[in-house]
Amino acid sequence: MRKLLVGLKRVVDYNVRIRLKPDGSGVATDGLKMSINPFDEIALEEALRLKEQGHAEEIVVVSIGSEDCQQQLRTGLAMGADRALLVRTEQALEPLVVARILLAIVEREQPELVLLGKQAIDQDHAQTGQMLAALWDRPQATFASKLEIQGSAARVTREIDAGLEILDIDLPAVVTTDLRLNEPRYVKLPEILKAKQKPLDVLDLSSLGIDSGQRFKVLKTEPPAQRSPGIRVENAAMLVQELKRRGVI
């Protein structure tokens, strides 16, 4: 393969405890630590390993969002990506719009393989990879826990409810990554400094001619209901009695 394309999304760091805005319009992100979506970081790590194995010549990382996304792209460059591309927009985008933007980038870059995280931890849609494959009219393999390149094809082991499923797909294709695919590498300071010299191009969303209008409207965001405290029982008979009292059995 000549080129791999990896999508990186800027999200609130998974170690941060989020809070809602007072008006319930969404999650408050001001002052919070932001990071690469963990599943996307796994996708990039897999791309780097494929390149190290001699299966690719270039890795391009792409992000869609505000200027702040350059921070995550620079992290991707520090991990080992060769080039970065930011599609700049201040809009909140739905998965279908993101897929259309990625299609435009795919048509521009002509990668042999697109690697995306299976979902983003902020919205949990798990739709973008599938939509991109459909728009691109190319094969897809989602929830990958193992990826092997075999010439002009790929063998993907994916996690499903019944266990593991192995798919053979022709390239170019879209693969979305699961947690057990790999463990991303730690970025060292010298790589961070080198990343500042790597190319990072910026495109305005308006230049792509894509309709970014919203089709869904979030009416309200609420925290999950608080769980009532549990109780400790001394034996099985007391457990059965308590379950009957609560109407469970």
Domain spans of the chain, in order of start: 3-222
Q: What is the pLDDT of residue 113?
A: 97
Q: What is the pLDDT of residue 222?
A: 83
Which residues have a Cβ under 8 Å from the Cβ of 31 and sit 6 or more positions away? none
> Model pTM?
0.86
Exposure on the CB side of residue 157, measured as CA atoms within 13 A: 10
| Nearest by Cα to 56 from 139, 108, 113, 133 | 113
DSSP 8-class letter at 111: -
Fold designation for 3-222: Rossmann fold (3.40.50)
Q: What is the pLDDT of residue 19?
A: 84
CA of 159: how far to CAs of 45, 130, 141, 182, 244, in Å? 19, 15, 10, 14, 38
Distance, CA of 209 to CA of 147 (rounded, Å): 34
Q: Go through 175-202 and write b for each residue having 16 or more CB atoms within 10 A of its CB, e for each that does not.
A: bbbbeebbebeebeeeeeeebeebebee
Q: What is the pLDDT of residue 140?
A: 96
Q: How many CB atoms lie within 10 A of CB 20?
A: 14
Distance, CA of 108 to CA of 103 (rounded, Å): 9
Distance, CA of 151 to CA of 170 (rounded, Å): 9
Q: Go through 153-167 and write b for each residue having 16 or more CB atoms within 10 A of its CB, e for each that does not.
A: ebebbbbeeeeeeeb
CA of 199: how far to CAs of 26, 53, 74, 86, 190, in Å? 34, 24, 10, 11, 17
How does strand 113-117 pair with strand 3-7? parallel
Question: Which two three-digit tokens encode residue 13?
Answer: 């760091």
Kindly give the confidence (pLDDT) of every residue in the chain, 249 residues in length, as a single tens digit, with 9 standing for 90 and above.
789 999 999 999 988 888 888 887 788 888 889 999 999 999 999 999 999 999 999 999 999 999 999 999 999 999 999 999 999 998 889 999 999 999 999 999 999 999 999 999 988 899 999 999 999 999 999 999 999 999 899 999 998 888 899 999 999 999 999 999 999 999 988 999 989 899 999 999 999 989 888 888 888 888 888 888 888 888 999 999 989 988 888
Q: Which residue is it, tokens 């000549």?
A: 2
Distance, CA of 22 to CA of 19 (rounded, Å): 9
Q: What is the pLDDT of residue 22?
A: 82
Q: What is the pLDDT of residue 170?
A: 96
Distance, CA of 64 to CA of 84 (rounded, Å): 11
> Model confidence over 201-221: pLDDT tens digits?
999 999 998 988 888 888 888
Helix or strand run (H / E) with residue 102? helix 95-109
> Model confidence over 157-166: pLDDT tens digits?
998 888 899 9
Q: What is the pLDDT of residue 172?
A: 96
